[in-house]
Chain A
Amino acid sequence: DAKTTQPNSMESNEEEPVHLPCNHSTISGTDYIHWYRQLPSQGPEYVIHGLTSNVNNRMASLAIAEDRKSSTLILHRATLRDAAVYYCILRDRPIEDSSYKLIFGSGTRLLVRP
């Protein structure tokens, strides 16, 4: 699986938007971009995923660069409950009977100031 690069940490003020960057310059044409987050003392939680087009859901938005070498997770209004480690993960499309494991990096620790 291709590798991703994320900042170790970021800070944000409550109720302000947050843009979490991820670089993946070696992404292949069939790699999906996934984002998970891990709140303290919990397991990771799915946030969003995409392939080429920008994606929106109730939790966040995913903006994917035209060349797909980078992407940005956008939290529109950060709350204290958004303080977590955010992981950007690349994974190829599912193949019959193959392992679909997610390879986690170190992620970005997001601190939200009240």
Chain B
Amino acid sequence: GAGVSQSPRYKVAKRGQDVALRCDPISGHVSLFWYQQALGQGPEFLTYFQNEAQLDKSGLPSDRFFAERPEGSVSTLKIQRTQQEDSAVYLCASSFRDTGYGYTFGSGTRLTVV
């Protein structure tokens, strides 16, 4: 497609439930990032893939968060045993090359944990 697609757009989870968030990057884009954005704050980095390799996962807040990109295209962010503090918008971005500019972000998945 023309842009980065994220699904679902909205997700409501009960505390303790596992969730999976999907990101479809722009075709051919090598780099893929996940960010977490709490209400009223700027996005915070979670993890980075170059093709299928997860090169940086320093931003993942706990071992309940797991991301994968097995074939170097679609990526999934999984959160196990969700907690209320996980409520946020989860953004995915991709770029053809790692230059810092020209990153294309998706519209995000808004996760609400109740």
Q: Which residues of A contact B (CB under 8 A)?
A: 32, 34, 36, 41-46, 49, 85, 87, 91, 94, 97-107
Q: 29 A-B pairs, CB-CB below 8 angstroms?
A: A32-B101, A41-B107, A42-B105, A42-B107, A43-B4, A43-B91, A43-B93, A43-B106, A43-B107, A44-B43, A44-B91, A46-B102, A49-B100, A85-B42, A87-B42, A94-B99, A94-B100, A97-B50, A98-B55, A99-B58, A100-B31, A100-B48, A100-B98, A100-B100, A102-B45, A102-B103, A103-B45, A104-B44, A107-B42
A100 close to B99 (CB less than 8 A): yes
Using a Cβ–Cβ cut-off of 8 Å, how many residues does chain B contribute to the interface with A? 30
Nearest B residue to A35 by beta-carbon distance? Answer: B101
Contacts of A46 in B (CB 8 A): 101-104
Contacts of B102 in A (CB 8 A): 46
Nearest-CB distance from B77 to chain A (Å)?
A: 14
**Count of CB-CB pairs between chains A and B under 8 Å:** 66
Nearest-CB distance from B97 to chain A (Å)?
A: 8
A91 close to B42 (CB less than 8 A): no
Contacts of B99 in A (CB 8 A): 94, 100
Nearest-CB distance from A84 to chain B (Å)?
A: 13
A91 close to B55 (CB less than 8 A): no
Beyond A97-B55, A105-B42, list 9 extra A-B contacts (CB 8 Å): A44-B105, A49-B100, A85-B42, A94-B97, A94-B100, A100-B31, A100-B48, A101-B56, A104-B35
